[in-house]
Amino acid sequence: MAKRGDNIRKRKDGRWEGRYKKGRAVDGCIIYGSVYGKTYKEVKEKMAAIISHPLQLATPKGQGKTFGEVLNLWMDNNRARLKGGTINKYQNLIDTHIMPELGQTKINELSATRINTFLNEKISRGRVDGSGGLSASYVRSIMLVINAAIKYAVSEQLCSPLKTPICKPPADKTELSILSAEEQKKLEASLLNNLDLTGAGIYISLHTGLRIGEICSLAWNDIDMNKRVIHVRHTVARIRSSSSAGSTILVIDTPKTKASKRDIPISSTLLPILLKLKTLSSKGFLLTGTNEFIKPRTFEYRYHKILDDCGITSVNYHALRHTFATRCVEAGVDIKSLSEILGHGNVSVTLNTYVFHPFHLAEQMKDERTTIVALLHDVVEDTDYTFDNLRNMGFDEEVIDALVLMTHEKSVPYMAYVEKIKANPIARAVKLADLQHNSDLSRVDHVDENALKRKEKYSEAIKLLAD
C-alpha cells in the first residue's frame, strides 16, 4: 500500500512507479528519475537501493571537465560513423566558433542562457573577419554541434541535462538561383557548338540535377549505357588530413545520405552527349578521362568562365540543379519521381523548394487580380510564354501591366526595377510577398556568400516598397 510522501504510485497500466531525486541540471533545477515494478514492495526496494548509493546517480562524473574536453570526446566518439566531410565541417565549427568562446567553460557551469547568448552574438556579429553576423542556417549548424555534445555528455554522466531548451535561430531563406529558359537555350547552344569535357559535365548537370561533387566524381563505370542509367554512388568530399594538423584533402567518398545514392535515367536528350563524351573520355572519370578527378573548385571556375563568355549573369553551379528541377516541374514530371532523381530524403523538400512558392504568395493575396499575378509572376521570365500569349488566354490589361512590372529585365538595375513596381498596387503587393518568401534559406540546400548578398538586397527592396 502506497504511503503519503514516499513518492510511489500505481499507474493506470497496473504497474507501480517510484520517483526519486536523480541530481541537478547545470542550471540548478532538480532532475527526477523513475523506477518501475509489478508491486509496491518491488518499487520500494529499488528506491531504497538507489537512495543508499546517492553518489552513483546524483553526481555527474565530469564536474571538472571543460566543454572543450567534452567536444573532443564527442568528436572522437563519432569519427568512426560520420562521413569525412561531416567530420571536417563539425571540426571547423568547433575550432572557429565554439572552442574560442565556450571551450574553457566548465561543463557543469554551462547554462542554456549562456549558450543562447553565445548563439545570438553569432547572428549579430559572428563572422571571423568582423564584417557582420553569421546566417541563421550557419548558427543552427553550430547549435546542432553544441546540442549533440551536451547529449553525449549527459549519456556518459559527465553532466546533467539542460532543463531550459536552447533557442533555435529562425531559418533564413533566399531566392532560388535558376537560369531562365532563354539563358538555358543560350548556354546549351554554346556548349554543343564546341563540346569538350567541361561543357559535357555542365550539360549533364543541367539535365540530371547532379551536384558539383557528384559530377566531379562520376566515372564511366557509373554509367550503364545499355540500361540508360547513371548510378550516383560517390561524391567529392573535403576531409581533414591526417598528415598535417589543420590541413584538408579532397577524396572520393560515398554520399552523405542514403537518398543521395540513386539511379538517374539517361534521357534521349542526354544520350547523344554521353556518346560524344565517350569519344573524348572513355575511361576513368568522365570529366578528365583519367584516374584523377577534377577538383570542384577548378570545375566551377571553368563553369563561370563559360557563363561570362555567353553573356549570362553569373550564378553558382548549384543553379543548374535548381534549373533542372524547375524545368521538370514545368514539364509536369511527378514530384515523387523528381524527388528520387534529385536525391531528396523527403518529397516535402522537393515540394517546398520548387512547387509551392507561387501558391504560397497566392494564399496571401486578397483579391482575384493579385492572386493571378502571384501565380504567374515568374512565367514570362522563366518560360517561353510571352505577354501576348497571356493576353490571348484572356487575362486583362491590369494583370498584364502588373506582370510586365514584375518581370525583371537584366539591363535594368535592380532597385530601379523595384522602384517602378512600387507605383502599381497589384505588383507591389505580390513583390513584397515574393521578397519576404525569397529571403528564406531553407528553400535551398546550399547557402553561400552570394545567397547572403541577395538577402541583403531583398531587405533593401522590402524597405523601398514598404515606405
Distance CA 199, CA 287 (A): 9
**More confident of the two residues 34 and 173:** 34
**More confident of the two residues 361 and 242:** 361
Three-state secondary-structure class, residue 50: helix
**Is the pLDDT reported for residue 56 higher than 50?**
no
Predicted confidence band at 166 (pLDDT cuts at 50, 70, 90)?
Answer: confident
**More confident of the two residues 5 and 386:** 386
Confidence (pTM): 0.53
300: which 3 cell numbers? 566551377
Average pLDDT over residues 137-150: 87
Average pLDDT over residues 193-201: 91
**Domain 356-466, CATH homologous superfamily name and number:** Hypothetical protein af1432 (1.10.3210.10)
CA–centroid distance for 399 within its chain = 35
Average pLDDT over residues 403-421: 85
Predicted confidence band at 215 (pLDDT cuts at 50, 70, 90)?
Answer: very high
Burial of 157 by CB count in 10 Å (0-12 exposed, 13-18 middle, 19+ buried)? middle
CATH class of 67-155: mainly alpha
Average pLDDT over residues 8-12: 84
**Is the pLDDT reported for residue 118 higher than 70?**
yes
199 close to 191: Cβ distance less than 8 angstroms: yes
349: which 3 cell numbers? 523538400
Three-state secondary-structure class, residue 127: coil
Predicted confidence at residue 55, as pLDDT, reads: 35
224-233 pLDDT, tens digit per residue, is 888 888 999 9
For residue 418, the surrounding DSSP H or E stretch is helix 414-422
24: which 3 cell numbers? 541537478
Query: In the chain, what percentage of residues exceed pLDDT 70?
Result: 82
**Domain 181-342, CATH homologous superfamily name and number:** Intergrase catalytic core (1.10.443.10)
Burial of 311 by CB count in 10 Å (0-12 exposed, 13-18 middle, 19+ buried)? exposed
Predicted confidence at residue 156, as pLDDT, reads: 81
Three-state secondary-structure class, residue 149: helix
**Is the pLDDT reported for residue 357 higher than 90?**
no
Scanning the structure block, which residue is given the C-alpha cell 533593401?
460
97 close to 119: Cβ distance less than 8 angstroms: no
Three-state secondary-structure class, residue 245: coil
Distance CA 323, CA 137 (A): 23
**Is the pLDDT reported for residue 22 higher than 90?**
no
Predicted confidence at residue 57, as pLDDT, reads: 38
Max CA separation in the chain (angstroms): 89
209 close to 342: Cβ distance less than 8 angstroms: yes
332: which 3 cell numbers? 509536369
**Is the pLDDT reported for residue 2 higher than 80?**
no
Query: In the chain, what percentage of residues exceed pLDDT 90?
Result: 17
